[in-house]
Amino acid sequence: MLSKPINRQFLLFLLLVSLSSCFRYDNFTAYFNTYYNANRLLKEAEEEFEYQEEKKRVLPRVLIPVQPVNIEIPRRSGMPDFLQEFIINRFKRQPVNAKLDSIIIKGSKILAYKPKSDYVEDVLYLMAKTYFYREEWLPSQVKCSELIDKFPDGKLSPDAHLLLALNLLVQQKFYAGRIILSRTVDIAWQKKRYDILSDAFRIEAELALYENDLPSALKPYLQAVAQSDNEEMKARWQLELASLLFRMGMFERAEVEFANVLKYKPDYLGIFEAHLYRAASLIRLGKTDEAEKILNRLDNDGKFSEWRVYVHTQRMQIARYHNDEDKIAQFERTADSLYNVNPVTSAFAYERGIDFYLKNDYSKARMYFARGRASGNVQNNFSDAMYQLLNAWDSYQTKTRDALARLQRGEPLQDTSRKILANDLFELGRVHSRLRNIDSSLYYYNMAMTASPESDTTSARYLYVVSYHLRAADLRTSDSLLEVIVEKYPKTEYGREAMKILGYTKAFVQDTVEEIYSSGRDLMKFGDYNFAINQFQRVYLNFPNSFLAPRALYNIGWIYERFKSLPDSALTYYSLLIEKYPNSDYAKDVKLSVEYLLAVRSGEPIPEHLRDREKTVFEKKDIQLHDPNFNPNLPKQDNVKDLLKPENLLKKAVETIIEQPSEEFQKLKNLKPEELVPFQKNETVPDSTKINSDVKKEKK
């Protein structure tokens, strides 16, 4: 008979065996019933939308230097372009939605019923990836955080950190994303997960480039090359460093860094890229003979025969550098026949499109941008957007040509036709605005304003846009256009906005100060300048705190300067405007010019901040309304400028504030009040002495 101690030991042994069997059974059932199937489904889903195929594809990269263009291209989403490659859109996801749902269900079962199995870490990561593929960033973020909390030193901790950083970045939480990326680098170094390190470095670099911070983009690779003792990884990171420099257009340094790749142990793809883009850097430095030697070696090396299209494209770049159009055409025919659509030839087409765009050859630019759209690279979005813009440019040019030719010949157009023409001209102006052709956009906006029938309330839109574009350079014309909108189209949204800008209330017609100001404006419009001055003086003297007071002084100065040719009197009122209302737009509009004139007349050296005014403000010049691609059938530019005459409230104001310095300026201090504001004989201006006494008091 067994003793009691032996019985206890035996029972304890049986209990341990039983518990161990339970753990093994939990692992067994968790693996075969749920995790195995969930993992299989995820792999099938990834194969379905070719995610794994993209990652496994072994092809040289297509590097494109930054281009000298500044085009308004709208983003397709709020996130930076470099994150797009990580996103699975709903069209790719649609065939596998059921599988992704099943992964979430199976993963949830393991977490609920087998929380102590060995597969919890794997399941959390499977679910986090699945949520990420479904573009459900917050649930994915939560699962990554759970994995990191429960298994901070687990095998999948580096993967979870990287995925968590991506979740934060696509939600535009850049600060938090950068912190997690830094932690990803630390944990990946610790576990020697070089694949995660490379991805983290690349994302850090792209994020820095997105924020125009080149030193921060280079820093992780410089540190990695210095710290690593793995020659293969050094070669990989050295290649990334050189590639960044090439993309930023720093070709001299890039050429050196591509050569340094070969000091380590790159694989044969790395060797090819290092040689290829070293040659590309030399081409852009003008050292085409050296580049040819490298390209010949690559062509003659049998290991790289499958990538000859990349070498061929660099020979096209040499012809492009030498502006040899015949040779480029020959190379393009060869590429079309041998290689069809290829990312590297599409990238070349994109660069050619930029070339022709900068030369204002929009037809050829559009053709090349159409080819550039075929690539799956980052420039695809830009090429597509440019193609659409230039298509719109061509379409509106064609639509407006005949109607404008009829107007130029003096033929009448019905209001309906004029309305359609005005809309097309306005849209053409918008296209030029997005292309950053500001002069051309303003030209077509003016043309739309001209063509639009007065009865069409859409004219308010055209007037408002022209006013907006002129506001910084020509405040008077801008205000005049807004006043036209208020008078003719007060009930439109643009009329209401114009009232806000001008400071009018909805009942501005009944306001006493606004009545006086409106009277003065009408008198000025019809050439009754002396009576107009009287009304504007009344606005300033009787309502000095009104929003119209600075504009009234501005108008008085304008009348003396432009219509009465009395620059000293104009200077007096402009100076009073600056003194009394220094923060108004009208004071800012004349301030530098008045300071310059006073400096010139004082005989003292011109202050540094005014020297540029000597060359710019005090020269007579108009805003250029010139379209570099102007069709000869369109009306001449002078026809547009005819709109900007005083009787149409559209007189240009981009000229000198004071025509010529007067020798009498020094006598200004000694003038009597009645002489300060001269009028013709037999004219009575009751309030003129008040304003002059105010000026005299301020001087004292």
- Domain assignment present for residue 325? The answer is no
Looking at residue 678, its pLDDT comes to: 34
Whole-angstrom Cα distance, residue 526 to residue 563? Answer: 12
Residue 221 pLDDT greater than 60, yes or no:
yes
| Closest alpha carbon to 485 in 449, 506, 454, 460 | 460
| Closest alpha carbon to 457 in 419, 401, 483 | 419
Q: Copy the structure tokens of residue 411.
A: 């033929």
Look-up: residue for tokens 């379209």? 627
Residue 173 pLDDT greater than 70, yes or no:
yes
Q: Copy the structure tokens of residue 60.
A: 């040289």
- Domain assignment present for residue 389? The answer is no
Q: What is the dihedral of CA 212, 215, 220, 224, to 10 degrees?
A: 150
The maximal CA–CA distance of the chain, rounded, in angstroms, is: 144
Whole-angstrom Cα distance, residue 582 to residue 645? Answer: 29
Whole-angstrom Cα distance, residue 149 to residue 151? Answer: 6
Three-state DSSP string of 224-277: HHHHCCCHHHHHHHHHHHHHHHHHCCCHHHHHHHHHHHCCCCCCHHHHHHHHHH
**DSSP letter (8 states) at residue 647:** G
Looking at residue 333, its pLDDT comes to: 84
Torsion over CA: 471, 476, 481, 487 (sign):
positive
Tens digits of residue pLDDT in 653-667: 223 223 333 333 333
Backbone angles phi, psi at 154, to 5 degrees: -75, 170
Tens digits of residue pLDDT in 348-369: 888 888 888 888 888 888 888 8
584: three-class secondary structure by DSSP: coil
Total tally of structural domains belonging to the chain: 1
Q: Are residues 451 and 463 in contact, defined by beta-carbon separation less than 8 angstroms?
A: no
Looking at residue 71, its pLDDT comes to: 62
Average pLDDT, the chain: 75
Looking at residue 13, its pLDDT comes to: 52
Looking at residue 184, its pLDDT comes to: 92
The amino acid present at 312, given as its one-letter code, is H
Top pLDDT among 201 and 30 is at 201
Q: How far apart are the first and last CA of the chain?
A: 126
Give me the long-range contacts of 470-478 (CB less than 8 A, separation at least 24). 470/442, 470/623, 473/623, 473/654, 474/623, 474/652, 474/653, 474/654, 475/585, 475/586, 475/589, 475/653, 476/554, 476/558, 476/651, 476/653, 477/644, 477/650, 477/651, 477/652, 477/653
Residue 6 pLDDT greater than 60, yes or no:
no
Looking at residue 283, its pLDDT comes to: 93
Rg (CA), the chain: 36
Tens digits of residue pLDDT in 446-500: 888 888 887 788 888 888 888 887 787 778 888 888 888 887 787 777 877 888 8
Looking at residue 514, its pLDDT comes to: 79
Tens digits of residue pLDDT in 288-305: 999 999 999 998 888 888
Of 42-46, 198-202, 493-497, 594-598, least confident by mean pLDDT is: 42-46
Tens digits of residue pLDDT in 245-285: 998 889 999 999 999 999 998 888 899 999 999 999 999 99
Top pLDDT among 488 and 380 is at 488
Looking at residue 695, its pLDDT comes to: 38
Work out the percent of the chain whose per-residue pLDDT is above 70: 73
- Residue 394: is it exposed, middle or buried by C-beta count within 10 angstroms (0-12/13-18/19+)? middle
- Residue 78: is it exposed, middle or buried by C-beta count within 10 angstroms (0-12/13-18/19+)? exposed
Of 199-213, 277-291, 377-391, least confident by mean pLDDT is: 377-391
Residue 188 pLDDT greater than 60, yes or no:
yes
- Residue 345: is it exposed, middle or buried by C-beta count within 10 angstroms (0-12/13-18/19+)? buried
Confidence band, pLDDT 50/70/90 cuts, at residue 380 = low
Q: Which helix (H) or strand (E) holds 334?
A: helix 325-338
**Alpha carbon 539 to chain centroid, angstroms:** 44
Q: Which helix (H) or strand (E) holds 698?
A: helix 688-699
| Closest alpha carbon to 675 in 586, 529, 600, 568 | 568
Look-up: residue for tokens 């200004």? 668
Full domain range(s) for residue 670: 505-619+662-700
- Domain assignment present for residue 480? The answer is no
Residue 15 pLDDT greater than 70, yes or no:
no
Range of 31-35, 120-124, 136-140, 613-617 with top mean pLDDT = 136-140
Tens digits of residue pLDDT in 673-689: 333 333 333 333 333 33
Looking at residue 546, its pLDDT comes to: 86
Of 5-9, 109-113, 417-421, least confident by mean pLDDT is: 5-9
Looking at residue 7, its pLDDT comes to: 59
Whole-angstrom Cα distance, residue 574 to residue 668? Answer: 14
Looking at residue 164, its pLDDT comes to: 93
Helical axes 585-602 vs 567-580, angle rounded to 10°: 130
Which residues, including other chains, have CB under 8 Å from residue 219's CB and lie 6 or more apart? 208
Q: What is the secondary structure of 393-420 as a DSSP string?
A: HHHHHHHHHHHHHHHHTT----HHHHHH
- Domain assignment present for residue 634? The answer is no
- Domain assignment present for residue 98? The answer is no
Top pLDDT among 555 and 220 is at 555
- Domain assignment present for residue 70? The answer is no
Looking at residue 472, its pLDDT comes to: 77
- Domain assignment present for residue 58? The answer is no
Range of 71-85, 88-102, 143-157, 381-395 with top mean pLDDT = 143-157
Three-state DSSP string of 472-534: CCCHHHHHHHHHHHHHHCCCCHHHHHHHHHHCCCCCCCCCHHHHHHHHHHHHHHCCCHHHHHH
Q: Copy the structure tokens of residue 669.
A: 């201090």
Whole-angstrom Cα distance, residue 379 to residue 376? Answer: 8
Average pLDDT for 307-312: 89
Angle at 193 between CA 190 and CA 198, to 5 degrees: 115
What CATH number is associated with residue 517? 1.25.40
Which residues, including other chains, have CB under 8 Å from residue 510's CB and lie 6 or more apart? none
Residue 345 pLDDT greater than 60, yes or no:
yes
Residue 510 pLDDT greater than 80, yes or no:
no
Range of 71-75, 147-151, 421-425 with top mean pLDDT = 147-151
Q: Which helix (H) or strand (E) holds 578?
A: helix 567-580
Give me the long-range contacts of 158-164 (CB less than 8 A, separation at least 24). 158/184, 158/187, 158/188, 158/191, 158/193, 158/196, 159/125, 159/193, 159/196, 160/124, 160/125, 160/128, 161/187, 161/188, 161/196, 162/188, 162/196, 162/199, 162/200, 163/125, 163/128, 163/129, 163/132
Tens digits of residue pLDDT in 140-160: 999 999 999 999 999 899 999
Residue 697 pLDDT greater than 70, yes or no:
no
Whole-angstrom Cα distance, residue 539 to residue 576? Answer: 14
Looking at residue 654, its pLDDT comes to: 27
**DSSP letter (8 states) at residue 172:** T
Torsion over CA: 245, 251, 257, 259 (sign):
positive
Residue 48 pLDDT greater than 70, yes or no:
no
- Domain assignment present for residue 75? The answer is no
Residue 56 pLDDT greater than 80, yes or no:
no
Confidence band, pLDDT 50/70/90 cuts, at residue 394 = confident
